[in-house]
Copies of this chain bind each other. A is one copy, B any other.
């Protein structure tokens, strides 16, 4: 892409990035190990689980660490990496405002290091959320339906609630009131919630994995933005996008969408 007359001077341009996976034996972690192994532009140099010493990261020469561990461990892991100049791609939850503030402070002391914290590594889900937010101001009505396997304990799903909140914000910014609704009798409500005034319907059905639709309606037309997640392997292209990009984005990035060029 970049013509690169200086390749001889900067031979690292095309060298695979050295990657470590933390939480390598978990469900997401083991997928990540496989994905990095299969990627031509990445070298898996280190896999750790909770009994292993973080020191191995340094020994392995890892340039990027993928953290797919647990909320109780992720902060220590990431801080260790940053302190040792290792960029981080983080899929673990539990990063509240306090933790984020501490991390930004640390990153300011290590200005060349990048950390991506991504609540969702699914490129399709990130796009669906973004498109829902961009489109919302153009439509009179908006509702969200999310459909999941019946073992899910929370309703609505976190992604659906976040999508609804983004839609609600976009509607408010555009001066739109609530979606029109003449409902007079609505006996008790099925699974779901109103999130900032946007209805989110939660379907739980054996056989499903994770699916979500945003429905946007105007007089005479409907726009539907639907994402189907059939398998957790779908998160891996997002993880690899993070691995490939994080080294060139110093500081803290929150959300995979900031690594995606969405203005084309």
Q: Please list the residues of chain A having a beta carbon within 8 angstroms of any beta carbon in chain B.
A: 1, 122-125, 127-128, 131, 133-135, 137-143, 145, 147, 150-155, 170, 173, 175, 179-194, 199-209, 215-237, 260, 262-264
A220 contacts B194, C-beta separation under 8 Å: no
The minimal Cβ–Cβ distance linking A137 to chain B, given in whole angstroms, is 7
- Evaluate contact between B201 and A207: CB separation under 8 angstroms: no
A182-B204, A190-B201, A219-B234 known, 15 other contacts, Cβ within 8 Å: A1-B175, A124-B138, A127-B135, A141-B150, A152-B183, A154-B185, A190-B194, A190-B199, A201-B201, A207-B217, A207-B219, A208-B217, A220-B232, A223-B225, A223-B227
Contacts of A180 in B (CB 8 A): 150-151, 204, 206
Distance, CA A143 to CA B155, complexed state (A): 15
Contacting pair B223 A223 (CB below 8 A):
no
Chain B's closest residue to A140 (CB) is B206
Q: Shortest distance in angstroms between A5's beta carbon and chain B's nearest beta carbon?
A: 19
A205 to B167, CA, bound (A): 15
| Contact partners of A194 in chain B: CB under 8 A | 188, 190
Contact yes or no, A204 B190, CB < 8 A: no
Q: How far is the CA of A194 from the CA of B188 in the complex (A)?
A: 8
Tell me the bound Cα distance from A87 to B183 in angstroms. Answer: 37
